[in-house]
C-alpha cells in the first residue's frame, strides 16, 4: 500500500511522538480491560418455556388459577393436598406464587420487555431456578431439609387473584416441622417477608433466598455481570463470583444486600440491620456464549443470595425491580430505631471508581433527555457536542505546547548528543535532564501541556462507558436504525463510521514531531484497532465516540486555517526539508 501522507505531518521523531505513543499504549490497555471486565449485553433470545406451575412467558396470558381442591386445607392447616397458584398484581409487577415451597415461579415487571422485545421481562431465571431454586424459597444448611421445604405443599391463605395492597400467608406443619411465611404487598416494587420456622418446637435456622440469578441473564456475558451488592454502614460493597462460595456467609452488618446485574436487582432489606446474616449462593451452569446459537456453551457462575438467622425468625423487605436511580433512591433501609431512614439503594448502580464522573454525566444526559430532546440517542449527541466544545481550549493549548516544543527541539537534540556517550545509570545523565528542564522553563514550554487533553478525555471516556453500561434507560432505547443503545450496533455502521472519522482526525491534526513510520501507524492502524473494539461495545458509546470524531474533524479543519495552524505547518515543512537533506 502506498504511504498516505498528510501535509500537516511530515516531521521527524521527538518527545511528542514518544509521549503520544506512550499514552496510546495506555489507552489500548484501558480498552482491553473494558473488553475483558465489562462485556456488553448482546440481544438474548426469548425466554424458554415455563417449567413451573402457573408461569407464563413474556406477555402471554396466565391461565386462571384453579380453585382449591376439595380437602386441600385439612384441619389444623398442616399441608395442602394439591398444588395451587396465587397471582399477586399491582401496576408494576405480576407475581405468580406456587404453594409448593411457598415460592415465586414468575415475577413479571410490567414496564420492561425481555431481551427479545416481544414480551414482558420475568425476573425469575426459569432455567436456573428449575435447577437451583425459586425466589423466596427457604434455604437451610441441611440440603435434605432444604429440598423438603422446597417440595412441601404449603397451605395458602388465598388462591387465584390477589390485587395489592394485600397479604398472602403460607403455612406448613408436618413431622414436627412447622413453617409460616407471610408476604405483604403494596403499590411499590417492595414486598415484605416474615418467616418463622421450628423443628419439634425448637427454632429452625432458615434463610429467605433468591437462589438462581435473574431473568435477564441468558448468555455467558449476561451472567458475567452478576454480583452480590450490599451496603455496610455508609459504604457500598460488591462481591464478585470468585469471592463467593456456595453456602458460605458473607460477613458484615449489612443495611441491605442482594443479587444484581447491569439493569435489575433483588435486594433484601432487614427490618433490624445487623440482626440477619447474608449467605452467598454460587452454582455452575452451562449456557450459550452467543444469543443466536446454542453452541458453544460455557460453564458460568449462577449467583444467589439468602438472608436469615439461626433464631428461626426472619423479617425483611425484598426489593425486586429495575436499577432506576429514582426508584432506588426512594427505597431506604431501616435505621437502628426501625424508621426507614437508612441508606437508599442508589449505590446498587455500580458506576465503579469513576462514579464522580459517571453519575454527573448521567444526570446531565437525563436532563438533556427531559428538557431538550426526548430521544436518548439524540441526547447523547447533544451531550457529546457540549463536552467537545468545553474541551476546545485544551486542544488549542495542546497545539501551542507542541509548537513550542518543536521550536526548541534542535537545542534539545544538541543536549542529548552532548550526553549520549554516558550510560543510562551514569550520574551525569541527571545533568542532561536538568539542562533540558532549564531550557523548557526558559522558553516557557510545559512538557505535559500536550498530554492535558488526553488526561481529560480518557477519564471522561471511561466514565461515559460506565454510565452507558449501567443506565437502564438506554436498555432497548432506539435511535434511527438502532433498537438498543445498550447493545452493539447489529449492522456495524457506527464502528465503520468511527474508523473513517478517526482516520480523518489523525490525518488533519498537525504533528510535526511525528516520525513518518509512526505517523503511518497512527493514521492507519490506530483507527482500525479502536474501531474493532467499538464492534462489541454499546452502540451508545460508539455513537458518542464517532460523533466526537466528527466534531474534532470540523474543529481541526478550522484550527488549521488559523495563525497557530499555519505556524505548525511551517515548522513541519522546515523539519521535513532538513530531514530530507540528510538522506
For residue 572, what pLDDT is reported?
66
Which of 159, 166, 146, 299 lies closest to 209, judged by CA?
146
Contact at 8 Å (CB) between 465 and 537? Answer: yes
For residue 320, what pLDDT is reported?
97
pTM of the model: 0.78
Which residue carries 433490624 as its cell? 272
For residue 57, what pLDDT is reported?
31
Mean pLDDT of 276-291: 90
- pLDDT of 69 > 60? The answer is no
| Residue 70 neighbours by CB under 8 Å, 6+ apart | none
Residue 203: band (very low, low, confident or very high) from pLDDT cuts 50, 70, 90: very high
Residue 519: band (very low, low, confident or very high) from pLDDT cuts 50, 70, 90: low
Q: Cite the DSSP H helix spans in 349-492.
A: 355-371, 376-390, 392-407, 409-419, 428-442, 452-469
Q: Please write the tens of the pLDDT for every residue from 415-442.
A: 888 877 777 777 777 778 888 888 777 7
Alpha carbon 446 to chain centroid distance?
38
* Residue environment code for 139-150, b if the CB has 16+ CB neighbours within 10 A, otherwise e: bbeeeebbebbb
* Percent of the residues in the chain that have a pLDDT greater than 70, as a whole number: 80
Cell triple for residue 535?
464492534
Which residue carries 460493597 as its cell? 237
Q: Give how far Cα 162 sits from Cα of 65, 107, 125, Å.
A: 11, 14, 23
CA distance 231 to 253: 9
CA distance 64 to 80: 19
Q: Please write the tens of the pLDDT for every residue from 79-115.
A: 888 999 999 999 999 999 999 999 999 999 999 998 8
Residue 55: band (very low, low, confident or very high) from pLDDT cuts 50, 70, 90: very low
Rounded to the nearest integer, the mean pLDDT of the chain is: 80
For residue 415, what pLDDT is reported?
81
- Of 144-158, 311-325, 538-552, least confident by mean pLDDT is 538-552
> What are the structural domains of the chain?
85-349 (2.70.98), 358-408+443-582 (no CATH)
**DSSP one-letter string for 124-190:** S-HHHHHHH--TTEEE-S-HHHHHHHHH-BPEES--EEEESSEEEEEEEEETTEEEEEEEEE-SSSE
For residue 398, what pLDDT is reported?
72
- Of 243-247, 279-283, 559-563, least confident by mean pLDDT is 559-563
For residue 517, what pLDDT is reported?
60
For residue 42, what pLDDT is reported?
35
- pLDDT of 24 > 60? The answer is no
Which of 268, 240, 239 lies closest to 255, judged by CA?
268
Q: Please write the tens of the pLDDT for every residue from 148-196.
A: 999 999 999 999 999 999 999 999 999 889 999 999 999 999 999 999 9
- pLDDT of 67 > 70? The answer is no
- Which one has a higher pLDDT value, 350 or 22? 350
Mean pLDDT of 310-335: 94
Amino acid at each position: 500500500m502506498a504511504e498516505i501522507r498528510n501535509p500537516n505531518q511530515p516531521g521527524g521523531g521527538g518527545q511528542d511522538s514518544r509521549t503520544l505513543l506512550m499514552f496510546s499504549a495506555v489507552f489500548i490497555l484501558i480498552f482491553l480491560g473494558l473488553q475483558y471486565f465489562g462485556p456488553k449485553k448482546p440481544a438474548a433470545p426469548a425466554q424458554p418455556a415455563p417449567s413451573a406451575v402457573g408461569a407464563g412467558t413474556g406477555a402471554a396470558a396466565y391461565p386462571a388459577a384453579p380453585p382449591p381442591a376439595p380437602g386441600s386445607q385439612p384441619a389444623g392447616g398442616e399441608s395442602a393436598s394439591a398444588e395451587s397458584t396465587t397471582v399477586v398484581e399491582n401496576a408494576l409487577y405480576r407475581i405468580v406464587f406456587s404453594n409448593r415451597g411457598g415460592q415465586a415461579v414468575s415475577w413479571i415487571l410490567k414496564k420492561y420487555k425481555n431481551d427479545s422485545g416481544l414480551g414482558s421481562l420475568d425476573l425469575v431465571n426459569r432455567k436456573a431456578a428449575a435447577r437451583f431454586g425459586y425466589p423466596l424459597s427457604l434455604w437451610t444448611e441441611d440440603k435434605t431439609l432444604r429440598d423438603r421445604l422446597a417440595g412441601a405443599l404449603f397451605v395458602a391463605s388465598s388462591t387465584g387473584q390477589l390485587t395489592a395492597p394485600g397479604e398472602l400467608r403460607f403455612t406448613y406443619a408436618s413431622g414436627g416441622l412447622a413453617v409460616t411465611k407471610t408476604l405483604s404487598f403494596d403499590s411499590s416494587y417492595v414486598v415484605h417477608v416474615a418467616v418463622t420456622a421450628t423443628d419439634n418446637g425448637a427454632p429452625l435456622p432458615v434463610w429467605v433466598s433468591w437462589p438462581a440469578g435473574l431473568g435477564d441473564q441468558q448468555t455467558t456475558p449476561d451472567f458475567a455481570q452478576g454480583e452480590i451488592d450490599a451496603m455496610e454502614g455508609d459504604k457500598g460493597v460488591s462481591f464478585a463470583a470468585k469471592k463467593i462460595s456456595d453456602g458460605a456467609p458473607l460477613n458484615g452488618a449489612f443495611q441491605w444486600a442482594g443479587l444484581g446485574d447491569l439493569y435489575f436487582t433483588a435486594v433484601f432489606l432487614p427490618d433490624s440491620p445487623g440482626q440477619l446474616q447474608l449467605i452467598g449462593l454460587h452454582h455452575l451452569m452451562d449456557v450459550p456464549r452467543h444469543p443466536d446459537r446454542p453452541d458453544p456453551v460455557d460453564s458460568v457462575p449462577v449467583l444467589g443470595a439468602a438472608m436469615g438467622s439461626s433464631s428461626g425468625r426472619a423479617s425483611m423487605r425484598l426489593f425486586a425491580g429495575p436499577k432506576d436511580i429514582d426508584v432506588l433512591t426512594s427505597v431506604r433501609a431501616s435505621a437502628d430505631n426501625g424508621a426507614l431512614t437508612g441508606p437508599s439503594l442508589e449505590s446498587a448502580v455500580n458506576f465503579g471508581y469513576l462514579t464522580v464522573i459517571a453519575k454527573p454525566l448521567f444526570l446531565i444526559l437525563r436532563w438533556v433527555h427531559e428538557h431538550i430532546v426526548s430521544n436518548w440517542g439524540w441526547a447523547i449527541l447533544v451531550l457529546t457536542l457540549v463536552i467537545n466544545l468545553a474541551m476546545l481550549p485544551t486542544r488549542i493549548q495542546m497545539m501551542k505546547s507542541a509548537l513550542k516544543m518543536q521550536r526548541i527541539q534542535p537545542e534539545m537534540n544538541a543536549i542529548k548528543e552532548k550526553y549520549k556517550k554516558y550510560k543510562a545509570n551514569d550520574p551525569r545523565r541527571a545533568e542532561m535532564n536538568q539542562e533540558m528542564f532549564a531550557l523548557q522553563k526558559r522558553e516557557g514550554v510545559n512538557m505535559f501541556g500536550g498530554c492535558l487533553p488526553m488526561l481529560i478525555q480518557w477519564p471522561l471516556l471511561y466514565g461515559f462507558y460506565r454510565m452507558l453500561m449501567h443506565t437502564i434507560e438506554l436498555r432497548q432505547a432506539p435511535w434511527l436504525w438502532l433498537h438498543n443503545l445498550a447493545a452493539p450496533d447489529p449492522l456495524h455502521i457506527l464502528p465503520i463510521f468511527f474508523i473513517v472519522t478517526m482516520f480523518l482526525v489523525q490525518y488533519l491534526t498537525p504533528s510535526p514531531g511525528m516520525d513518518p513510520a509512526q505517523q503511518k501507524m497512527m493514521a492507519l492502524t490506530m483507527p482500525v484497532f479502536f474501531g474493532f473494539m467499538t464492534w462489541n461495545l454499546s452502540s451508545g458509546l460508539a455513537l458518542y465516540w464517532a460523533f466526537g470524531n466528527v466534531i474534532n474533524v470540523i474543529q481541526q479543519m478550522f484550527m488549521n486555517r488559523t495563525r497557530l495552524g499555519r505556524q505548525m505547518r511551517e515548522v513541519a515543512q522546515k523539519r521535513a526539508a532538513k530531514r530530507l537533506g540528510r538522506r
